[in-house]
Structure 1
């Protein structure tokens, strides 16, 4: 009997230890998502400093910013699913090493050309890490809760963006070397993350014999025919949200300079905090309080907040009011967070299970194109018509698209014939929750 009790105790203790190890590994990867996204937003408060040092235009500034999206798109198209072929741990570690290499490029930058390369490398590292982290978080969750893993992942992204920009702006404003200290701090944090992954994150993929010729392969972009209507609505929503996010990250410092009539990296960081930090809070609060609401209504509410936020920010620029600007940025953050979350859940639920990977790859290609191209266009137009007038035009277009997306989302959420059509063809339920 004593032997049986001891065996039971050992088994229970072993299970508890395994769960603690899994919990520690899960939160290590989640922290990694935050660190990687913090690295993405770190240059944002510094762009005006680079611009003043090397005298390049707003078009060049936004092109530098958009090189990040180029790197992410390369990762999505070429390295998608790499961790399924070589394992989660090697890809996590390799992407962190690549991210550290981008810091070295920023630290060595002596001209704008270095910034292009640094941002592209940073984007490639981010695209690789966030892709494998999404899968690793599901693998490592102690109870296998996909919904919680997805919530942690989606919340860690805007949290990382907010913290990265705020800390970078603070260090740039009061640190000893504005263009070096933020990246040195990130390098130390990333090295600590590298050690934590080595020590605490186990491999979760059973690997078959490798065919090195198939390690890197082009990811085809295809949307299943039965998903195209849902893809159009979700893609429009994520495009509107990420276009606004790209504008803030690319030209946030310039907008602050316009309002304050002078550059201030700390205030530029707070602008990103007021948007992305609120976005993370909105996602978490909405999920906990109104998680049963359909994804269509979630997206519609987010698009409405985006519309009101952009109009408020436009009014702030017209009235030259920093307080109103931050209020509008917070409203925009709510819209960004909820529109992104609702659109992602919509397309994840609508996509056939066997083709979910390629559908999501196409979805995020739309997101990153929207993240970069409008920001580049805004930078180009601002050199001809001024930043304020360019923002007015951008806000008007965003308001129209957000309104159309909100109305269409509400219509689909309330349309019973869509449910019967989906059921008849054995497809996904458009109103189902993820």
Structure 2
């Protein structure tokens, strides 16, 4: 009798546990939205400190150059994470990487909350960058794998809208809280703690889309793209290079420039400027997501160049309303150019290289975001903010036109030279 009871226990218990585990998993559609929310909230958090930089600078007495260094440390942290662990979720799974990175984002937010000097700010921003880099590669790959129809176009659109929408809402909501809410140096981070806590709970219940997992290996990696998709990656890289380069300048110097143009110390002005850029980018992606990817990258870059020219003209002539018009035009170009390249890339990424390729994509993005901001910080003391923005704005204008031409040359049937492997 005992011998017949034992097998019953050994068979029933694992089955019951498996059913319980499945009951705790997020439904597929909710898991898909959760992956997009990780991208959006991570970029929301990246923009949250922006309205506070001038407050920190006035309170703690550091220079404008150090302000841009603090900003650039975030982007360098993202790059470091992408290079060290960019492909790790292809090996160990999306869920473990999301759990670890969201936990680190909670710690980074706690550091912001406790910050009382420049050293705390540097530590918080660097950890935030490292955690965001790990989260973006895993979440972007999961977004395609968890899509109800596994549709790369829809997943690419969602990625772009969550990215731009996160940056826009982060800057605007943080500016509102800093300007009008109590405890302006604390409350924005309390909001982030709640958001990341919800995301962490969701990640714990997320189904794991990677079936073939391998042992953990953490080692330096160079960005790698399979040879078969390098032409598509080139187009995606061109789109993000032109579009995100303007974001770095806006996030680091935009708030103080807008305050100068409007002759105000209201922190909301900088948040509105960032929302005009990134928010119009999110809207444009929804409106023009059916355009051919090469056409979107080319025409979007032309719009980006035109918007940048208007912004530079507004700064040169001290016309505030023109600055916001230029930001909307540039933002629409930024959104369409970014989405065009991303859609084409997501359609061809091999299953076992998704996180690796998306990490390489974000390496290009964050290099475009950080390098111009850091260079601007080096020269802003001697050139001044207006001249610095004019010079770097002109550089973005030229870069966007180059990208527009190169994207056009990748159109179907064109005899386009491709960057060699």
Band the TM-score falls in, shorter-chain normalisation: 0.7 to 0.9
Q: 1:353-374 CA distances to partner (integer Å, 9 max, x unpaired)?
A: 8867655544432221121111
Q: Is the counterpart of residue 242 in structure 1 residue 247 in structure 2?
A: no
The answer for the alignment partner of 1:395 in structure 2 is 393
Distance (Å, rounded) in 1 between the aligned partners of 2:154 and 2:233: 24
Q: Is the counterpart of residue 221 in structure 1 residue 223 in structure 2?
A: yes
Report if the CA contact (8 A) 1:62-1:250 is conserved: yes
Q: Is the counterpart of residue 69 in structure 1 residue 75 in structure 2?
A: yes
Q: Is the counterpart of residue 97 in structure 1 residue 103 in structure 2?
A: yes
The answer for the alignment partner of 2:262 in structure 1 is 260
Q: 1:256-292 CA distances to partner (integer Å, 9 max, x unpaired)?
A: 22212343221211111111111111111111xxx1x
The answer for the alignment partner of 2:119 in structure 1 is 113
Q: 1:414 to 1:206 in 2, by over 3 A?
A: closer
Stretches of 4+ aligned residues off by more than 4 angstroms? 17-20, 222-234, 346-360
The answer for the alignment partner of 2:340 in structure 1 is 342
Distance (Å, rounded) in 2 between the aligned partners of 1:347 and 1:146: 9
Q: Is the counterpart of residue 204 in structure 1 residue 209 in structure 2?
A: yes
Per the TM alignment, residue 393 of structure 1 is displaced from its structure 2 partner at its CA by: 1.0
Unmatched 5+ stretches in structure 2: 1-22
The answer for the alignment partner of 1:14 in structure 2 is none
Distance (Å, rounded) in 1 between the aligned partners of 2:298 and 2:111: 41
The answer for the alignment partner of 1:12 in structure 2 is none
Distance (Å, rounded) in 2 between the aligned partners of 1:346 and 1:147: 8
TM-align CA RMSD: 2.7
Q: 1:88 to 1:220 in 2, by over 3 A?
A: same
- 5 Å-filtered alignment, 1:12-31, equals 21-31=27-37
Per the TM alignment, residue 86 of structure 1 is displaced from its structure 2 partner at its CA by: 2.4
The answer for the alignment partner of 2:9 in structure 1 is none
Q: Is the counterpart of residue 276 in structure 1 residue 278 in structure 2?
A: yes
Per the TM alignment, residue 237 of structure 1 is displaced from its structure 2 partner at its CA by: 3.6
Q: 1:292-347 CA distances to partner (integer Å, 9 max, x unpaired)?
A: x3322211111111111111111221232221111111111111111212233455
Per the TM alignment, residue 235 of structure 1 is displaced from its structure 2 partner at its CA by: 3.3
Q: 1:62-83 CA distances to partner (integer Å, 9 max, x unpaired)?
A: 1100111111111111111222
Q: 1:93 to 1:69 in 2, by over 3 A?
A: same
Distance (Å, rounded) in 1 between the aligned partners of 2:212 and 2:225: 28
Report if the CA contact (8 A) 2:26-2:207 is conserved: no
Task: Give the count of matched residue pairs.
Answer: 397
TM-score normalised over the length of structure 1: 0.84
Report if the CA contact (8 A) 2:73-2:129 is conserved: yes
Report if the CA contact (8 A) 1:245-1:336 is conserved: no
Report if the CA contact (8 A) 1:309-1:329 is conserved: yes
Report if the CA contact (8 A) 2:295-2:407 is conserved: yes
Unmatched 5+ stretches in structure 1: 1-16, 423-434
Report if the CA contact (8 A) 1:242-1:368 is conserved: yes
Distance (Å, rounded) in 2 between the aligned partners of 1:256 and 1:154: 26
Per the TM alignment, residue 29 of structure 1 is displaced from its structure 2 partner at its CA by: 2.3
| SS in structure 2 at match of 1:413 | coil
